[in-house]
Amino acid sequence: MSALDEYRKKRRFGRTPEPAAQRKKTANGRLFVVQKHRASHLHYDLRLESDGVLKSWAVPKGPSLDPKVKRLAMAVEDHPVDYAEFEGVIPVGEYGAGTVMVWDRGTYEPEGDGNVAASLAKGDLKFRLHGAKLKGSWALVRTRNQQWLLIKHRDEHAASEDITLTAPLSVVTGRRLADIAADEGGDVAQAATGDP
């Protein structure tokens, strides 16, 4: 079974603008992206490139810069690397229908022995982010099954501010969710409920 089979099964590519499932890599193989997604509920999707796919977690409240705050991160299906570029509207009636924004992106480096697959299998991945908004040391820790915690480590990038409120715009286009919905023919009122 391919790592992207579940991604393919959930989507009708003739109807959704999401990229088709292809295994490929970026130059360094360590891309990360966080996509703000206003579907039935607002959430943030954390995606880390590993072995030619984006390992993905839905983070309902978004990342926190405060090391005292542990955010629930639900593991979801792997996504193709091209998905890191996707910003737009998934049509009503399609899986994940709603507005998607590229909220942050950059590169990451695993900490420790550098073996991302082994760390994920153990349920404990430590990594450094080099993004426009998120920087420094983080951890993903599995608590059970698909449930993980996303935790910011104490370092020079830790802060008490709610970055989801202080930095709400797309790092690619500078738009809010409602702007993306208006530009791409989506539900502006629904998308606006995800904007601060």
Q: Residue 183: CB partners within 8 Å, gap ≥ 6? A: 175
Distance CA 78, CA 52 (A): 10
The predicted pLDDT at position 1 comes to 56
Instruction: Express each pLDDT in 43-95 by its tens digit.
Output: 999 999 999 999 999 999 999 999 999 999 999 999 999 999 999 999 999 99
Bridge partner residues of 140 (DSSP): 125, 150
How many structural domains does the chain have?
1
Instruction: Express each pLDDT in 110-140 by its tens digit.
Output: 998 889 999 999 999 999 999 999 999 999 9
Q: Which residue has the tokens 């039935």?
A: 40
Mean pLDDT of the chain: 94
Which whole number is the average pLDDT over 5-34? 89
pTM of the model: 0.95
Angle of CA points 56, 116, 72, to nearest 5° = 40
The predicted pLDDT at position 127 comes to 98
Give the containing element (helix H, strand E) for 172: none
Q: Is the pLDDT of residue 22 over 90?
A: no
Return the closest-CA partner of residue 134 out of 161, 114, 115, 99. 161
For residue 9, the enclosing domain spans 5-192
Which whole number is the average pLDDT over 140-146? 97
